[in-house]
A and B are shown apart, each in its own frame.
Chain A
Amino acid sequence: MKNRSIKTAKAFAILALVFFLASCLGPEKKVIPKSYTVEIKAMQFQPAELSVQKGDTVLFVNQDMLVHNVTEEKAKAWGSPSLATGESYKMVVNESSDYYCSLHPVMKGKLVVQ
């Protein structure tokens, strides 16, 4: 009788250990990419600086009265077409970059990948 109880207790202990290990070694938790919006208005990118995770999406929306674009500043590595009022440009961010509007070079922004 005593042996049977010990065996049962051992079985529960092993099962608990298995569940614990399974929870630790389970499938990697997936990080769901987030979406952000940068508004273009009053000749500014708002917010001018945005911190994101690699793979997040940023939507640039032109809410200004003039045509603008969004262009990587250092080497023009990426860029949007000209965006009329109400038009937008979506991109997946893979690395930090400084950008500007090439039509109005005083308009600048920054994407920071954390």
Chain B
Amino acid sequence: MKISSISKTGFGVMLSMLAFSVFAFAQDKPKLSDPEVAFVAVTANQIDIDFAGVAKQKSKDANVIEFANTMERDHKAVIAQAVALAKKLGVTPQNNAVSKGMLANAEKTKKSLRSKSGTAFNKAYIDNEVAYHKAVIAAVETVLIPETDNSELKQLLQNVVPALKAHLMHAEMLQKNYK
């Protein structure tokens, strides 16, 4: 009982850290160049693909696996379009402090997710997807889009927002099953 509580608290802290890192990034509004914005966008998508990979390894729940497959497919499609656009514009996405912070926190979240199994894992994964998508939507709308100078990159980011919101609604729908 005690261990379970600690474990739940630990994951909650981990979730908060990841969400905080993205929210903090959204609130600090750091000045990012377009190559840095592109890198942050690709990183944000890759992190969710990695979470989906963990879910596909750990979960036996058909709804969770289906959701993970959708996250993997959609975020890969977004990365492919971002990479194609960067190539067209002759821009090399540039690593930066924001994307490094996001990746570091995502590693901690993945470690925590991997330590769980069964219903606890399903709940933790879906809770994380809800928190992560909320944070990413805020970051894209309040930082990445306003910070972007190139109109095509800005348009790509704007096009991604409805998909992120649909993912969030889908995750919230599933979340009701794991309370």
**Taking beta carbons and an 8 Å cutoff, which residues of A are in contact with B?**
42-44, 65-67, 103-107
Cα distance, A106 to B163, chains bound together (Å): 11
16 sample A-B contacts, Cβ–Cβ < 8 Å, listed by A number? A42-B159, A43-B162, A43-B163, A44-B162, A65-B77, A66-B73, A66-B78, A66-B163, A67-B77, A103-B73, A104-B167, A104-B170, A105-B173, A106-B169, A106-B173, A107-B166
- A-B contact sample (16 more), CB < 8 A, given A67-B77, A103-B70, A105-B170: A43-B162, A43-B166, A44-B162, A65-B81, A65-B159, A65-B160, A65-B163, A66-B73, A66-B78, A66-B163, A67-B73, A104-B70, A104-B166, A104-B170, A105-B173, A106-B170
- Chain B 2-44, CB-CB to A under 8 Å as 1, else 0, gives 0000000000000000000000000000000000000000000
Cα distance, A105 to B166, chains bound together (Å): 9
Interface of A is mostly: loop
For the complex of A and B, the 7 pairs showing the least CB-CB separation, nearest first, are: A43-B166, A106-B169, A42-B162, A43-B162, A66-B74, A104-B166, A106-B166
Cα distance, A65 to B157, chains bound together (Å): 11
In the bound complex, residues from chain A placing their C-beta under 8 Å from that of B173 are 105-106
Cα distance, A104 to B169, chains bound together (Å): 9
Interface of B is mostly: helix
* In the complex, chain B residues 123-179 whose Cβ is within 8 Å of any chain A Cβ: 159-160, 162-163, 165-167, 169-170, 173
Cα distance, A4 to B131, chains bound together (Å): 98
Cα distance, A66 to B74, chains bound together (Å): 6
Q: For residue A47, give the distance in angstroms from its CB to the closest CB of chain B.
A: 16
In the bound complex, residues from chain A placing their C-beta under 8 Å from that of B78 are 65-66
In the bound complex, residues from chain A placing their C-beta under 8 Å from that of B166 are 43, 104, 106-107
In the bound complex, residues from chain B placing their C-beta under 8 Å from that of A105 are 170, 173
